[in-house]
Amino acid sequence: MTRSSDRVDVYLELGQKRAFAGALDWPGWCRSGRDESAALQALFEYGPRYAQAVWTARLGFQSPADLSAFRVVERLEGGATTDFGAPEAAPARDSKPVKESDLRRFQTLLRACWRAFDAATRKARGKTLQKGPRGGGRDLDRIIEHVMGSDAGYLSSLGWKLDVPATKDSREALKHTQQIILKALVAAANNEIPRRGPRGGVRWTPRYYVRRVAWHTLDHAWEIEDRLQNKPG
């Protein structure tokens, strides 16, 4: 597994209107652009922000010095979800079995991403997030609700059900959801969840599941930071 700043294995997901570039060994480090060049540029520019987000994981991530560090090893065909603004295609490497060392690393990375999201929400609490050019954009509570709703959908794609206790505390509910995510990940990594659902649908692999959860968590952590600082998204 390549984790050095000298070379970063990257996959590209190419839609008709949008492209995503993702670092294969670093779930959550995934950005988009209008085409593959723009997506790779965005991935590079977000290297320092990803480093800051996962520094508590202490896994040795180093932001690359230039674009030449990226090695595109796979190109995937995107679809409507890609063009809408979310990755949807799983790289081939995500079908590999998950060893115990992989599982521990994934758990560590997810916790780091959650800490980054929590830090962003704490800074934004009680403050106004800048609206978009047309006055759109969720407020902070809506963003948290959206993240929890997506987490529930991701759990379903893995083959797990989310039961959230009745509470008006969104942070408490989010922490409960995160514990369920870790529990489901262990079960999936240990092959305790059938690869196909009762209707024959193929479920997400543990590796792809981590990739999507980490991407979505950081995507909204960075959205909160940018809108709080009046930066363009």
First vs last Cα of the chain: how many Å apart?
Answer: 31
* Residue recorded with tokens 């193929």: 202
pLDDT of residue 232: 52
Q: What percent of the chain has pLDDT over 90?
A: 80
Between CA 205 and CA 194 the distance in angstroms is 10
pLDDT in tens, 144-201: 999 999 999 999 999 998 876 666 677 788 889 999 999 999 999 999 999 888 887 8
Per CATH, domain 96-228 is 3.30.420:
no
- For the question of whether the overall pTM of this predicted structure is more than 0.85, the answer is yes
Between CA 230 and CA 177 the distance in angstroms is 30
Structure tokens at 206: 């543990």
pLDDT of residue 136: 63
Structure tokens at 225: 């930071």
- Whether 29 has a pLDDT exceeding 80, the answer reads yes
Between CA 175 and CA 27 the distance in angstroms is 20
Alpha helices in the chain (DSSP H): 36-45, 47-54, 80-84, 100-124, 140-158, 170-189, 206-228
Domain coordinates in residue numbering, the chain: 8-93, 96-228
pLDDT of residue 3: 44
- Whether 4 has a pLDDT exceeding 50, the answer reads no
* Residue recorded with tokens 């932001």: 63
- Whether 110 has a pLDDT exceeding 80, the answer reads yes
Beta bridge pairs of residue 23: 10
pLDDT of residue 75: 98
Structure tokens at 176: 């409960």
Per CATH, domain 8-93 is 1.10.150:
no
pLDDT of residue 173: 86
Which positions ≥6 away from 207 have C-beta within 8 Å?
A: 93, 94, 95, 96, 98, 102, 106
* Residue recorded with tokens 């560590």: 108
Between CA 119 and CA 116 the distance in angstroms is 5
pLDDT in tens, 79-99: 999 999 999 999 999 999 999
Structure tokens at 55: 């520094």
Helix (H), strand (E), coil (C) string for 193-213: CCCECCCCCECCCHHHHHHHH
pLDDT of residue 165: 66
pLDDT of residue 73: 97
pLDDT of residue 2: 40
| Confidence category of residue 205, pLDDT binned at 50, 70, 90 | very high
- What is the mean pLDDT of the segment spanning 213-227? 97
Contact indicator for 31, 39 with CB cutoff of 8 Å: yes
